Amino acid sequence: MQDTSLKFDIVIFGATSFVGQILTRYMLAQFGVADELKWAIAGRSQSKLNELKLTLGIAAETLDILIADAADEDSLQRLCGSTRVVVSTVGPYALYGESLVKTCVTLGTDYCDLTGEVQWIAKMLERYEDLAKISGARIVHSCGFDSIPSDLGVYFLQQQAKQKFGEGCSSIKMRVKKMKGAASGGTVASMTNIFKEVPSNPALRKLLANPYAICPPNHGNKVRQNNMNRPQYDNDFNSWVAPFVMAVINTRIVHRSNALVEGGYSQHFDYNEAMLTGKGLIGSSIAAGVGVGLGSFVMAAVIPPTRWAMEKFILPKPGEGPSQDAQEKGFYDLRFYGKTDSGQEIRVKVTGDQDPGYGSTAKMLGQAAACLAQDISKDTVLGGFWTPASIFGSQLITRLESFSGVTFEIISHD
């Protein structure tokens, strides 16, 4: 049963961040302030929170403001003790996220975030998973573009395959067909923070190369995964493909889901992601260009002087992002191809109607938080570290299709 003694259903921590502001406006438009869902905004700056509230207009007149700092555990305890769910947009999470996760786990408060930082998720699992199972806290990382479309896209495909063929798929590919939108400043900051650590940390390099890095120890899948780190031709899509930068986090989340969803997908499950670049010489050239560009970015980010120059003059900074018009003109179209052990094939697609890193991410995160607060009872889903697919499944798919401009659709099946 849900605890009705708490003042709030959801508190948005980091509401004045760029994504936090988009999320706050979305929550107000979807839920009002205290109608079907009671929620509040939180952060460390009273003045910035007051300013945000003013921009929301009279509809937000009764919206509560909470003051909390990621470096002040007493303030985090007051925040987490007042709500069922905390949503965090405060990254890079490896720098600012642990105290909040620790507090939620200690108090049994549910939590979701936007992190794409595999090394940080692995650390949180190691330190707090056992305690979360005791306290009842449900911790759900990666509830934005990384990794809800990938994770729930695979889940949706598997459910359709089981319904039509009587078996799930042991092999799935995700290919980005089209996408328009810029990487967020927070995402870039998280990536560059990883690159700062990699050169002097062999253990981190090993963890990042492990496709099962955040799977439970007893997951049992020993399939050698194709990390798609070079351009190649994909016969199943009749197209050249190039590496997809978000695959590093998405594939890890999907493999953890395979270990956590009821019944699993397959003990020899194979999954990879890439970008479609087209056929022939043009497709090959684009794929090669993407590969070179991504490799050059990684090399530049690893070397301190060039990393400093990129951070100073080129890359977006945390808190920066595109205009409202640019967000609304963004979109994505992801294609999934699955194959069962008996040779049956199925294709599905997942689309989003706004910029993946900002507009669509904020809507997905808001519905994930609402789903956690309203749909997923603590009596039926116990404490622990979950993935979007393993805790939300079809319930979040329904919310996303109804309220977030995200669609899940079967293209074909044999």
pLDDT digits (tens, 9 = 90+) for 379-389: 999 999 999 99
More confident site: 403 or 298: 403
Task: Read off the pLDDT band of 259 (50, 70, 90).
Answer: very high
Joined together, the tokens standing for residue 145 give 């573009």
Q: CB count, 10 Å around CB of 282?
A: 11
pLDDT, one tens digit per residue, over 294-350 is 777 777 766 787 776 766 766 677 667 778 888 888 999 999 999 999 999 999 999
Whole-number Å distance between alpha carbons of 165 and 181: 36
Q: Do 309 and 327 contact (CB within 8 A), yes or no? A: no
Q: What angle do CA 28, 389, 227 make, to 5 degrees?
A: 115
Q: If you ran DSSP here, which 8-state letter would residue 316 be given?
A: P
Of 336, 332, 318, the residue nearest 363 (C-alpha): 332
The Cα 149–Cα 132 span in angstroms is: 26
User: What's the pLDDT at 304?
Assistant: 80
Contact 383, 341 (CB under 8 A): no
Extended beta strands in 98-162, E state:
110-113, 138-140
Distance CA 213, CA 256 (A): 9
Q: Is the confidence at residue 1, as pLDDT, over 50?
A: no
Residue pLDDT, tens place only, 273-302: 999 999 999 999 999 999 888 777 777 766
Give me the residues paired with residue 174 across strands.
Answer: 273, 336
Contact 334, 160 (CB under 8 A): no
pLDDT at residue 3 above 60? no
Please name the amino acid found at residue 190.
Answer: S
Encode 116-134: b = buried (16+ Cβ within 10 Å), e = exposed.
Answer: bbbbbbbbbbeebeeebee
